[in-house]
């Protein structure tokens, strides 16, 4: 089966789903990153960051969504999937994307300081690994960036008022 990427309107609609997940993270006091996975055109996983809630450093939106999608597919190989995430995946999540064989990753905002997909650590494009993923970045970038920046601006204000958050 050939995986033909959908058009930009579909990418934007699916990124809006990821943004809704990211908003749920923000409402829970988590870093507002959301992810959705479509497998063979069907929604297979959706999640938001839950590291603080679950007290689990691996509970990133991408990791939870990958687990859900693999469970739905009954296979750890997600070779007919597209992952949509509001922020460029970190190195841990990029490693999981490679292991899951996800062929396309679409994100909103890039992370030049810590991005593990292509920006800082180009894990998704490393030829020595057994899989490489295509990427589309900048989909609804302004909305994704505004959500993250707004969240951390609020956290800084709370820190000045004596509320610890780190």
Active site residues: 62
Residue 104, C-beta contacts closer than 8 angstroms, at least 6 positions apart: 3, 5, 81, 82, 83, 133, 134, 135, 136
Q: How many angstroms separate the CA atoms of 121 and 118, rounded?
A: 6
Q: How many angstroms separate the CA atoms of 160 and 153, rounded?
A: 11
Which alpha helices (DSSP H) does 28-140 contain, by range? 51-54, 61-73, 91-100
Helix (H, G, I), strand (E, B) or coil at 63: helix
Question: In b/e form, how buried is each residue of 83-94, taking b as 16+ CB within 10 angstroms?
Answer: bbbbbbbbeebb
Of the candidates 101, 81, 76, 75, the one whose C-alpha atom is nearest the C-alpha of residue 35 is 81
């Amino acid at each position: 089966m050939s995986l033909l990427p959908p058009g930009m309107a579909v990418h934007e609609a699916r990124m809006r789903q990821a943004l809704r997940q990211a908003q749920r993270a923000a409402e829970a006091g988590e870093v507002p990153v959301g992810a959705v996975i479509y497998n063979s055109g069907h929604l297979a996983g959706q999640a938001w960051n839950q590291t603080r809630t679950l007290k689990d450093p691996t509970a990133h939106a991408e990791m939870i969504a990958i687990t859900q999608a693999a469970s739905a597919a009954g296979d750890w190989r997600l070779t007919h999937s597209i992952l949509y995430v509001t922020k460029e995946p970190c190195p841990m999540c990029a490693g999981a994307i490679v292991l899951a064989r996800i062929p396309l990753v679409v994100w909103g905002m890039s992370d030049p300081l810590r991005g593990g997909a292509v920006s800082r650590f180009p894990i998704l494009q490393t030829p020595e690994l057994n899989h490489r993923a295509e990427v589309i970045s900048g989909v609804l970038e302004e909305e994704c960036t505004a959500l993250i920046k707004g969240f951390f601006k609020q956290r800084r204000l709370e820190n000045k008022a004596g509320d610890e958050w780190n």
